[in-house]
């Protein structure tokens, strides 16, 4: 198949006036609601490119999001998608996966939705190793609801609810994911578009709970309050402060306000998924019963 030079997406042709990803977007819903300089458009573009590169049957892909600016992506992609209630995309996605394990279920949401309100669901889905692909766009703040402090806000950073600086220790998301049981964990920033797409392709083709954190600018709230400039300034900061350390221990990838951002693929292991474990156990139970019945006969 031909390689499209503009998009880098195999098999996607571009006609004049049309963006190569147009057919994968619900263009009738555009323009999107995201602010100028927001990283969400970049991340959504990488997500679509990754889906196409992974050659997954798009009819079997389902995107589930919760509430928040990131969650709007589910409404823009031209795939089967669900925009669920606040904090609940993982239980919703779990239901979809259990009902039809053939589906490739992607949870695409923000840090406030997945890690604050939905934090409990996050750790238990990882513990069970449910075959979900979870993309968390982390802008260190609650964006859509007005810039409140989140469980990802670095100590010292200001938010509307912490005008003197956040004093709570934030979650280190890769460590949280790994220690809960995720089999694939990576972190990138919105600057790392190709790395994001590569990680997504790997995660989509892996069995088990896969987690990708993407640090992304919220110029309207987080960047402005913390005097970090606009979207472009933030991209420059990401470029300067990011250090790629594939295989780094997730214990060591905390993000301090103004400090370096360690990015890379941290975890890529094999562990039986919930379905595989259930399957194996049921087979054993049936075998034992059959053997018991044979013995009695």
- The residue ranges that bind ligand SF4 (CB under 6 A) are 34-35, 38, 40, 69, 139, 143-144, 218-221
Tokens coding 125: 């889905």
Q: Give 42 or 255: the residue with its C-beta nearer to ligand SF4.
A: 42
* H or E stretch covering 74: helix 73-76
Q: Give 139 or 250: the residue with its C-beta nearer to ligand SF4.
A: 139
Please calculate the CA angle 208-212-213 and round it to the nearest 5 degrees: 145
Q: Give 40 or 62: the residue with its C-beta nearer to ligand SF4.
A: 40
In whole angstroms, give the CA distance from residue 71 to residue 89. Answer: 9
In whole angstroms, give the CA distance from residue 168 to residue 189. Answer: 23
Q: How far is the CB of 224 from ligand SF4 (least distance, A)?
A: 9
Q: How far is the CB of 68 from ligand SF4 (least distance, A)?
A: 8
In whole angstroms, give the CA distance from residue 139 to residue 214. Answer: 8
Q: How far is the CB of 231 from ligand SF4 (least distance, A)?
A: 8
135: helix, strand or coil = strand
Q: Give 62 or 159: the residue with its C-beta nearer to ligand SF4.
A: 159
Q: How far is the CB of 54 from ligand SF4 (least distance, A)?
A: 26
* CB count in 10 Å sphere of residue 188: 28
Q: How far is the CB of 210 from ligand SF4 (least distance, A)?
A: 23
Q: Give 157 or 183: the residue with its C-beta nearer to ligand SF4.
A: 157
Which residues, 6+ apart, have CB-to-CB distance to 278 below 8 Å? none
For 201, list phi and psi in degrees, rounded to 5: -60, -45
Q: Is-contact 155 257, C-beta < 8 A? A: yes
Q: How far is the CB of 121 from ligand SF4 (least distance, A)?
A: 22
Tokens coding 219: 């110029």
Cα 256 to the center of its chain, rounded Å: 21
Tokens coding 181: 């049981």
Q: How far is the CB of 98 from ligand SF4 (least distance, A)?
A: 31
Cα separations in angstroms, 172 against 91, 154, 199, 218: 22, 10, 19, 19
Q: Give 89 or 219: the residue with its C-beta nearer to ligand SF4.
A: 219
Q: Give 94 or 216: the residue with its C-beta nearer to ligand SF4.
A: 216
* H or E stretch covering 136: strand 133-138
């Amino acid at each position: 198949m031909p390689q499209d030079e503009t998009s880098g997406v195999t098999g996607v042709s571009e006609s004049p006036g049309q963006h190569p990803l147009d057919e994968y977007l619900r263009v009738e819903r555009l323009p999107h609601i995201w602010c100028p300089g927001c990283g969400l458009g970049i991340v959504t573009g990488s997500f679509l490119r990754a889906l196409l590169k992974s050659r997954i049957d798009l009819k079997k892909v389902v995107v589930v999001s919760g509430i928040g600016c990131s969650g709007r992506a589910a409404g823009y992609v031209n795939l089967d998608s669900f925009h669920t209630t606040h904090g609940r995309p993982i239980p919703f996605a779990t239901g979809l996966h259990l009902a039809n394990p053939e589906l490739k279920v992607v949870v695409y949401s923000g840090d406030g939705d997945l890690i604050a309100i939905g934090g409990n669901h996050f750790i238990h889905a990882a513990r069970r190793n449910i075959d979900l692909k979870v993309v968390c766009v982390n802008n260190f703040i609650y964006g859509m609801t007005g810039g409140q402090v989140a469980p990802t806000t670095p100590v010292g950073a200001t938010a509307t609810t912490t005008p003197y600086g956040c004093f709570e220790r934030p979650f280190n998301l890769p460590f949280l994911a790994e220690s809960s049981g995720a089999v694939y964990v990576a972190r990138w920033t919105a600057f790392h578009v190709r790395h994001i797409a590569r990680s997504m392709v790997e995660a989509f083709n892996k069995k088990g709970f896969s987690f990708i954190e993407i640090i992304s600018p919220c110029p309207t709230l987080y960047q402005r309050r913390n005097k970090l400039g606009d979207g472009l300034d933030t991209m420059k900061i990401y470029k300067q402060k990011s250090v790629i350390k594939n295989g780094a221990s997730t214990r060591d990838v905390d993000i301090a306000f103004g400090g370096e951002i360690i990015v890379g693929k941290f975890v890529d292991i094999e562990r039986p998924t919930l379905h595989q474990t259930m399957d194996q156990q049921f087979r054993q139970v049936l075998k034992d019963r059959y053997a018991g019945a044979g013995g009695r006969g």
